[in-house]
Amino acid sequence: MNRSGYSESRIAEQSANHGGFPRFGARVMVALALVAFALLLALLPACSKPKPAARSGPAQRIVSISPSTTEAVFAVGAGDAMVGRSRYCDYPPEVKKLPQVGGYVDPSFEAILGLQPDLVVGARGPAGSAISEKLEARGIATFFPPAESFEAIDAMLLGVGERTGRSEAAKAVVDTIHQHIAAVERAVSSKPKTRVLVVFGLEPLSVAGPSSFPDEMIRRAGGTNVISEGGAYPVIGVERVLALDPDVIVNAAMMEERASERLRKDAPGWSRVRAVQAGHVSTITDEAVLRPGPRIAEGLALLARAIHPDLTIDLDTGGGSP
């Protein structure tokens, strides 16, 4: 007798009498077999279906979800292939005609798919990894490089050129950037190292910290960043500014309402800061200085003039008068 209370001979007898299944389990076993077969059919396509292959050759339909990569696509001559952008992509002006697909940190996956791109580019950031994985699972190539240093910007431009079939144009863009950067560095070489505070936000007071892209810009523009600790973009108080006592303050909080008015001699707190009292506050209104992309040399020249107001730089000829 087996554990179920039925002898093997009894089970065999019922099996023979009812088409090969014991009478008490025939319907159940048939149902289970059908379910198993249906599950097998459902799973086979998923198991055997390969991941879609990304399109080979230069990209024909590009979506960019960050301003820096949008500028890079146009700089290497692939602007005609752009079919979508983020809400913050505004340069060159013609890009504003393209459909938006959300922002840098909140791109719309559905909106991107609707534009049928074969390449999606963007700066590495909060959304980069997640959106990249989802797109590549659909066979859409992605490129989300870092761009927080001059060297990384070179690599980003060359990478965009490679993916759009414009490698030679990208190399030419990088060479020109290097020439312009060298012109700025020559112009500031004879200037004293000015102690600089670069402000990105006033409420709260957000500034350029060490080991950041703006920190490298300050150094190349002939300045010394007074912020030496606290992360790439620390938040500090006015009392800390008083203690740091910068020679020059660069006000780049251009996105905030009345930013220039809130950093004046009669502004609460700021009136006690030596650089403010002396009128050594430069306001930057051109966002090229903040954007790690192909206009970086222009931004560097702008920052150098903000730090050294008497400086002249001619990027076209590579000359300048200290």
- pLDDT at position 34 is 44
∠ CA 295-311-223 to the nearest 5 degrees? 75
Global pTM reads 0.79
Instruction: Look at strands 62-64 and 119-121 and give their pairing.
Output: parallel
Answer for the pair 197, 241: CB distance below 8 angstroms, yes or no.
yes
Residues 6+ apart with CB under 8 A from 309: 282
Sequence ranges of the domains in the chain: 8-48, 62-165, 192-321
Q: What is the DSSP track for 263-303?
A: SSTTSTTGGG-HHHHTT-EEE---GGGG--STTHHHHHHHH
- pLDDT at position 27 is 46
CATH of 192-321, one of 3.40.50.720, 3.40.50.1980, 1.10.10.200, 2.40.50.140: 3.40.50.1980
CATH of 62-165, one of 3.40.50.1980, 3.40.50.1100, 3.40.720.10, 3.40.50.150: 3.40.50.1980
Q: How far apart are CA 218 and CA 195, in angstroms?
A: 9
- pLDDT at position 55 is 60
| Token pair in block for residue 107 | 């791109």
| Token pair in block for residue 255 | 């996105």
* Collapsed DSSP state (helix, strand, coil) of residue 250: strand
- Going residue by residue through the chain (322 aa), what tens digit of pLDDT does each one get? 443 333 333 333 333 333 333 333 444 343 444 444 444 444 444 444 455 555 678 999 999 999 999 999 999 999 999 999 999 999 999 999 999 999 888 899 999 999 999 999 998 876 667 888 999 999 999 999 999 999 999 999 999 999 999 999 999 999 999 999 999 999 999 999 999 999 998 889 999 999 899 999 999 999 999 999 999 999 999 999 999 999 999 999 876 666 556 677 777 788 899 999 999 999 888 777 778 999 999 999 999 999 999 998 877 765 555 4
Instruction: Look at strands 235-236 and 205-207 and give their pairing.
Output: antiparallel
Backbone angles phi, psi at 201, to 5 degrees: -150, 145
∠ CA 192-194-200 to the nearest 5 degrees? 155
- pLDDT at position 126 is 64
Let me know if the fold of 62-165 is the same as that of 192-321. Answer: yes
- pLDDT at position 177 is 97
